[in-house]
A and B are shown apart, each in its own frame.
Chain A
Amino acid sequence: MKRIFPILSVITAALLAYALYQALVVAPTDAQQGDVYRIIYYHVPSAWTAFLLFFINFIASIQYLVSAKASTKAAAKWIVLGIGVVGVIACFLPQVQRMLPVGMRPSAVATTVLAIPLFYFLIGRLFPGQKLDVLAVTTAEVGVVFCTIVLVTGPIWARPVWGIWWAPGDIRLTSTLVLWLIYVSYLVLRRFSNSAQTQMLAAALAVFGALDVPLVYFSIWFFRTQHPQPVIGGGGSMDPRMLHVLLISWIAFLCFAFLVCWSRFRLELLHREIEEAHAMESLLGAGAGSKASLPLSRSSR
C-alpha cells in the first residue's frame, strides 16, 4: 500500500503535465472564442470530478444511515436494486425516450442509472462501518475544493466570452453555486459538532442536500426561461480532438482527486485512531499513573 502511493503520485504528475501540454499546445484553437476557451480543460474536468465526489458522498451517507439497523439495511438494498432495474428498463421504453432531452442517448442514461446500484454495493463492500463516514468526510472536502475551482474558472472564462463575470439566470452556474453552498454548510456542521453524533447529523444533511439539488435545478431552469440570459457558446457538437484532450485531462484530474482522497482518508483514519487511543488512555491511565503509554498502533507495529 505504501509503495503504490509514490508510484501513483509520479503517474499522476506525469498525466497532469501531459494533459496541460495537450490543452495548451496540441488542442486546436476555438474558431469563435480563441485561446480563452482552453480553460475548459481545467473547468469541465474539475466539475465532473466534483460531481462524482459529491455523488460518492451521498451514497456513503445513505449507506451510513441505513446501516444503523439491519432491517433498514436490507430494505435499502432491495430499493437500490429496484431503482437500478426499473431505471435501466425505463430508458428503453418509447414513452420515456420521448421525454428525454434531444441529444441524450437512452443507453447513456441507462449507464448512469446503473451507476447508482454499482456504486452503492461497491462502497458498501469496500468501506464497512465507520470507514463509510471517513469516506463521506474525505469526498466532501475534496469535492468542495474541486467545486471551488469550477466556480473560480467559470467567471474567468465568462468575462471575455459573455462580457459579464456572473449570470444569475444561468442554470449550471447557479445550481453549482448552490451545491457548493450546501457542501460548505456540510463541512461547517462537521467542524462545529465534534461529538459522537456528528456522523449521523452529517449523513442526514448530505441526504437533504442531495434531495435539494434536483429542486434547485428545476427552479432555476424555470426562473431562467423568464429572464434574459447570455448566449451559451455553441452547445452540442465538439471537435473530436478537443473531446480527446478533455478526456485526457479528466483522467488526470481523476487520478489527482483519487490521490488526494486517499491520503486524506488515511489521515482521517489515523486521526480517529489517535483520538480513540487518547480516550482509552484517559479511561485507563488515570489510575495507572505515568506507566500507561499510548497504544499508538502504527508506529509500534
Chain B
Amino acid sequence: MSLWSVTFATLRKDIRLEWRSKDALNAMLFFSLLVVVIFMFSFDPLAEESRHIVGGLVWVSFLFASVTALNQTWARELRNQVLDAYRVSPAPANALFLAKALGNFIFVSVLEALMTPLFVIFYNVRVLGPAWQLLPIAVLGTWALVVNGTFFAAMSLRTRSREIMLPLLLFPISIPAVLGMVAGTTSILTGEESAHFWIVLLLTYDVVFTTACLALFGAILHAE
C-alpha cells in the first residue's frame, strides 16, 4: 500500500462523511459567526480603526472555530476501535496523518471562504495593500493551524478531558504562526508595510512543523 493511495482513500472517506453529516462544518460556521457578532458589539470600530484590528479578529475567530473541528478529527476513529485496527494494519502511519491534516485543511478553508465576506460586510474593510498576498497568508496560515492541530488532537486522545487539552497544547506552539497571520494580514489591509517577512515566517513554520509532525506521528500513534 503506497502512502498516497492510503492518504487519498482516507481523505475521500472523511470528506464523504463530512459531506453527509456536515457536523464539523456547521459547528465551525456557527461558532465563528457568533464570534464575529460578539466582536462587533464589543468593539464597534470606525472603518479606519477596523483596518488595524480586523486581521486579529478574523484569525482569532478562525483559530477558535478550527479547534472545534480539530477536536472531532479523531473521535470518529475511536468508535468501533478503528484506530486500533489502523495501528495493526500495514498502512503507513503518516498516510493517516496526512489525510486527516488535508481534510481539516479543506474544512477550515471552506469556513474561511464563507466567513471572510461576512467580515468584509460587518467591518467595512477595504484593502489598501496588495490584496493577492492575502491568499498565501491564508493558505500558509491555515496549514500552520491544522497541521499542528491534527497532531496535537492525536496526542490529546490519550489524555483525560481531551477537548480541553487540545487548545492548551496547540495555542502556545502556534503563537509565532498566529503572530505571522495577524501581523501579515494587518500590514496588507493597512498597506503600510510589506508582508513579505510574515509570508516567509509562515512558510518556515509550515516546513519545520510539517517535518516534525511527519517524523513523530508514528511514535505517537504506536506509543504504548
Interface 1/0s, chain A 147-184, versus B by CB < 8 A?
A: 00000000000000000000000000000001001101
* A65, A193, A208 interface centre (most CB from chain B within 10 Å): A208
Q: Does A36 contact B (CB under 8 A)?
A: no
Interchain CA distance A208-B171 in the complex, whole Å: 12
B163-188, CB under 8 A of A: which get 1 and which 0? 00100110111011001100100000
Docked-complex contact B176 and A188, CB < 8 angstroms = no
Query: How far in angstroms is the closest Cβ of chain B from A207?
Result: 7
A65 to B205 CA separation, bound complex (whole angstroms): 22
For residue A68, which residues in chain B have a CB less than 8 angstroms away from its CB?
219
A210 to chain B: closest CB distance in Å? 10
Residue in A189, A200, A219 whose beta carbon sits within 8 Å of that of B176 in the complex:
A219
CB distance from B106 to the nearest CB of A (A): 24
Hey, which chain B residues are within 8 Å of A178, CB to CB? 172, 175
B219 touches A200 (CB 8 A): yes
Complex Cα gap A68–B222 (Å): 11
Give chain B residues whose Cβ lies under 8 Å from the Cβ of A212. Answer: 172-173, 175-176
Given contact pairs A182-B173, A192-B161, A219-B179, A204 touches B220 in the complex (Cβ within 8 A): yes
- Closest residue of chain B to A225, judged by CB? B197
Chain A residues within an 8 Å CB radius of B183:
223, 226
Could you say which of A65, A192, A211, A226 contacts B165, with CB atoms under 8 Å apart?
A: A192
Q: How large is the interface on B (under 10, 10 to 19, 20 to 34, 35 or more residues)?
A: 20 to 34
A205 touches B212 (CB 8 A): no
B185 to nearest A CB, angstroms? 14
Pair A197/B216 contact, Cβ less than 8 Å: no
Contact present for B224 and A196 (CB under 8 Å):
yes
* Stretch touching chain A among B85-93, B129-137, B152-160: B152-160
How far is B202's CA from A261's CA once the two chains are assembled, in angstroms?
37
A192 to B168, CA, bound (A): 11
The reply to whether B216 and A219 contact each other, CB–CB distance below 8 Å, is no
Chain A positions 242 through 270: 1 when the CB is less than 8 Å from some CB of chain B, otherwise 0: 00000000000000000000000000000
Query: Is A195 positioned at the interface, with any CB of B under 8 Å from its CB?
Result: yes
Query: Judging by beta carbons under 8 Å apart, are A200 and B175 in contact?
Result: no
**Which chain B residue has the least Cβ–Cβ distance from A188?**
B168
Label chain B's interface by main secondary structure.
Answer: helix
Q: How far is the CA of A184 from the CA of B159 in the complex (A)?
A: 16
Q: Is the CB of A181 within 8 A of B201?
A: no
Q: Known interface pairs A215-B208, A220-B179. Does A193 touch B201 (Cβ–Cβ under 8 Å)?
A: no
What's the nearest-Cβ distance from chain B to residue A182, in Å? 5
Report how many A-B pairs have Cβ atoms within 8 Å. Answer: 90
Smallest CB separation, A215 vs chain B (Å): 4
Any A CB within 8 A of the CB of B193: yes
**Are A208 and B212 in touch, CB under 8 angstroms?**
yes
B1 interface hit (Cβ, 8 Å)? no
Cβ contacts under 8 Å, B197 to chain A: 222
Does B121 lie at the interface of the complex (its beta carbon under 8 Å from any beta carbon of A)?
Answer: no
Q: Is the beta-carbon distance between A197 and B223 smaller than 8 angstroms?
A: yes
Q: How far is the CA of A219 from the CA of B179 in the complex (A)?
A: 7
The answer for the CA separation of A203 and B160 in the assembled complex, in Å, is: 18
Residues of A190-234 at the interface with B, using a CB-CB cut-off of 8 Å, are: 192-193, 195-198, 200-201, 204-205, 207-209, 211-212, 215-216, 218-220, 222-223, 226
Is B64 at the interface (CB under 8 A from chain A)? no
State the CA gap A120–B161 with chains docked (Å): 35
Closest to B211 in A: A211
Q: Are B201 and A185 in contact (CB under 8 A)?
A: no
Closest B residue to A215 by CB, please name it: B176
Contact A201:B175 (CB < 8 A) given known A185-B168, A211-B209: no
User: Within 8 Å of chain A (Cβ to Cβ): is B204?
Assistant: yes
CA distance A208 to B170 in the complex (A): 10
B-side contacts of A65, CB under 8 Å? 216, 219
Q: Which residue of A lies closest to B217 (CB)?
A: A204
29 A-B contacts (beta carbon < 8 Å): A65-B219, A178-B175, A181-B171, A181-B175, A182-B172, A188-B165, A188-B169, A189-B155, A189-B156, A192-B159, A193-B165, A196-B223, A197-B223, A201-B158, A201-B159, A201-B220, A205-B169, A208-B173, A208-B209, A208-B212, A211-B208, A212-B173, A212-B176, A215-B204, A215-B208, A218-B201, A219-B179, A222-B198, A223-B179
**Nearest 3 CB-CB pairs, A to B?**
A193-B159, A197-B223, A200-B223
Beyond A211-B212, A216-B175, A222-B201, 17 extra complex contacts between A and B, CB < 8 Å: A65-B216, A181-B171, A181-B175, A185-B168, A185-B172, A185-B173, A189-B165, A193-B165, A198-B158, A200-B219, A201-B155, A201-B159, A208-B148, A211-B208, A211-B209, A212-B176, A222-B198
